[in-house]
Amino acid sequence: MSVWDDIADTPREAENLRVRSELMMAIEKKINEREWTQVQAAEALGLTQPRVSDLLRGKISKFSLDALVDIASGLDVHVKVCV
């Protein structure tokens, strides 16, 4: 059982939260590796600085899986789906 299982209403929602969380952490890692400021990351990814701030602060509810995949793509983070 994970923290997502504890806060989600359904197993489906818990899985979605888990996947989004993992993707957010991978994005944050890439931004940190590049030593970008929030402004630099925003410019490179076509986002606003407040949006990058939300991402780096882990505001998971503000990001869909689709949006996170788009952001990750801009950082050369490749998303692989395994079933």
Global pTM reads 0.86
Q: pLDDT tens, position by position, for the chain (83 residues)?
A: 666 556 667 778 888 889 999 999 999 999 999 999 999 999 999 999 999 999 999 999 999 999 999 999 999 999 988 88
Residue 61 confidence (pLDDT): 92
Dihedral sign of CA atoms 67, 68, 69, 75 in order: positive
Domains of the chain: 3-74 (1.10.260.40)
Residue 1 confidence (pLDDT): 63
Residue 8 confidence (pLDDT): 62
Q: Cβ(20)–Cβ(59) under 8 Å?
A: no
What's the alpha-carbon Rg for the chain, to the nearest Å?
Answer: 13
Residue 52 confidence (pLDDT): 98
